């Protein structure tokens, strides 16, 4: 499986602000976060570093498997996770702390496009697995290295079955210096259709952080602009008060953000004029629906009741995801 085919996360967590837009989150209890895409509640501590670990675990997993109890397990090399997060600047012990907090945080999600996730967790277990094979000349300073077996929580299983999957390398996002920049990058990457002229800086800050006081908003703007170079490497460009995204076709010619400026609608003149272009015709609604369904993990076989979510467990659907995993 190529990196482009790997599932990194799904759409809803970034849209409903499941992870706080900071690298130093606070513990929350019983507080509902309201957005235009839905609402969520987290009893625990989830920030952008937790999102880094969550996405890296899914992205670098060497194997997906369905256990005897129907749970979904990942086989992960912790060294790959560490290298993926901020180029290895954090220790394995620190990453284990973030994994533990991911297992402890209880989440609720309610979104019209998804359904309801009730009192569940994103990760439910982490165990040491097989020893890694020794390589001649390789020095291991901390004893024997083992793989990790990570069990996905019922919230993650539900999201993988019912939400739209996203695939991107989380590494560049983890290297951003500020949590607000990471949250905005994750939010922007959930959009395929860009607003004309891009987003406003304040609009994106409000989308990921909610209403902010004057000083907090100024700090968020300053931190976002400080990460402009890192955002440009992801394909997100800040130009004055506007934020735009450069979309690249697979295998296309690499284009730097802002390299070829175009005014919105410059090549979309109306019909009936001499020499004018025809309006761009989008796909039919039925085709869009079919394309959306095709991106969801396939679900087959009998369904079972999911005690944590208001929807079927559909373990067979996870088998379809596991069947396409890399080994």
Statement to judge: residues 162 and 309 lie in one domain:
yes
Query: For 124-146, what is the mean pLDDT?
Result: 68
Quick check: 92 pLDDT over 70? yes
Helix or strand run (H / E) with residue 317: helix 315-323
Kindly report which listed range (7-16, 59-68, 203-212) carries the lowest average pLDDT score.
59-68
Statement to judge: residues 124 and 36 lie in one domain:
yes
Statement to judge: residues 124 and 13 lie in one domain:
yes
DSSP string, 161-206: HHSPEE---SHHHHT-S-HHHHHHHHHHTT-SSPPTT-EEHHHHHH
Q: Considering the domain boundaries, does residue 255 fall inside one?
A: no
Strand, helix or coil for residue 129: strand
* Domain span including residue 98: 3-135+146-170+303-320
Percent of the chain with pLDDT over 90: 59
Statement to judge: residues 233 and 122 lie in one domain:
no
Statement to judge: residues 30 and 120 lie in one domain:
yes
Last residue of a domain, one of 245, 265, 294: 245
Write down the pLDDT at residue 287. 58
Statement to judge: residues 228 and 308 lie in one domain:
no
- Per the prediction, the chain carries an average pLDDT of 81
- Residue-wise pLDDT for 223-232, tens only, equals 999 999 999 9
Statement to judge: residues 68 and 119 lie in one domain:
yes
The closest of 60, 55, 80 to 326, measured between CA atoms, is 60
Q: CA torsion angle for 187, 189, 190, 193 (degrees, to 10)?
A: 110
Statement to judge: residues 97 and 238 lie in one domain:
no
Write down the pLDDT at residue 66. 81
Statement to judge: residues 110 and 220 lie in one domain:
no
Q: Considering the domain boundaries, does residue 274 fall inside one?
A: no
Q: Considering the domain boundaries, does residue 162 fall inside one?
A: yes
Q: Considering the domain boundaries, does residue 290 fall inside one?
A: no
Q: Considering the domain boundaries, does residue 125 fall inside one?
A: yes
Quick check: 239 pLDDT over 80? yes
Statement to judge: residues 64 and 160 lie in one domain:
yes
Q: How far apart are CA 182 and CA 17, in angstroms?
A: 12
Statement to judge: residues 91 and 232 lie in one domain:
no
Write down the pLDDT at residue 109. 97
Task: Report residue 187 CA to chain centroid gap.
Answer: 8
Last residue of a domain, one of 220, 245, 270: 245
Q: 255 pLDDT band (50/70/90 cuts)?
A: very low
Last residue of a domain, one of 198, 229, 245: 245
The count of domains in the chain is: 2
- Residue-wise pLDDT for 296-311, tens only, equals 554 444 444 444 455 4
Q: How far apart are CA 96 and CA 90, in angstroms?
A: 10
Q: Considering the domain boundaries, does residue 297 fall inside one?
A: no
Q: Considering the domain boundaries, does residue 262 fall inside one?
A: no
Q: Considering the domain boundaries, does residue 277 fall inside one?
A: no
Between these two residues, 311 and 168, which has the higher pLDDT value? 168
Quick check: 326 pLDDT over 80? no
Write down the pLDDT at residue 6. 84
Statement to judge: residues 49 and 35 lie in one domain:
yes
Query: For 74-94, what is the mean pLDDT?
Result: 91
Q: 327 pLDDT band (50/70/90 cuts)?
A: very low
Write down the pLDDT at residue 291. 56
DSSP string, 64-110: EEE-TTS-EEEEE-HHHHHHHSGGGTS-HHHHHHHHHHHHH-EEEEE
């Amino acid at each position: 499986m190529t990196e482009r085919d790997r599932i990194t996360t799904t759409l809803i967590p970034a849209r409903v602000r499941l992870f706080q837009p900071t690298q130093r989150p606070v513990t929350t209890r019983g507080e509902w976060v309201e957005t235009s895409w839905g609402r969520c509640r987290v009893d625990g501590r989830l920030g952008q570093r937790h999102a880094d670990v969550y996405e890296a675990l899914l992205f670098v997993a060497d194997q997906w498997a369905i256990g005897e109890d129907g749970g979904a397990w990942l086989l992960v090399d912790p060294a790959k996770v560490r290298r993926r997060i901020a180029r290895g600047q954090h220790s394995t012990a620190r990453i284990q702390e973030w994994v533990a907090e991911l297992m402890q945080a209880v989440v609720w999600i309610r979104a019209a496009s998804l359904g309801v996730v009730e009192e569940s967790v994103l990760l439910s277990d982490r165990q040491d697995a097989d020893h890694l094979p020794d390589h001649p000349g390789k020095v291991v300073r901390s004893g024997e290295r083992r793989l990790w077996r990570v069990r996905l929580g019922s919230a993650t299983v539900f999201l993988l079955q019912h939400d739209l999957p996203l695939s991107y390398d989380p590494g560049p996002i983890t290297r951003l210096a500020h949590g607000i920049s990471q949250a905005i990058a994750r939010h922007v990457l959930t959009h395929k259709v860009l607003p004309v002229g891009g987003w406003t800086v304040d609009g994106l800050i409000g989308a990921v952080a909610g209403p902010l006081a004057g000083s907090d908003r100024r700090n968020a703007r300053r931190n976002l602009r400080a990460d402009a170079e890192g955002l440009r490497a992801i394909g997100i460009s800040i130009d004055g008060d506007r934020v735009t995204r450069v979309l690249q076709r697979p295998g296309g010619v690499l284009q730097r953000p802002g390299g070829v400026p175009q005014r919105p609608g410059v090549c979309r003149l109306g019909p009936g004029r001499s020499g004018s272009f025809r309006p761009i015709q989008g796909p039919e609604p039925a085709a869009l629906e079919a394309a959306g369904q095709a991106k969801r993990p396939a679900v087959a076989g009998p369904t079972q009741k999911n005690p944590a979510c208001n929807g079927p467990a559909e373990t067979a659907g996870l088998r379809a995801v596991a069947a396409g995993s890399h080994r």
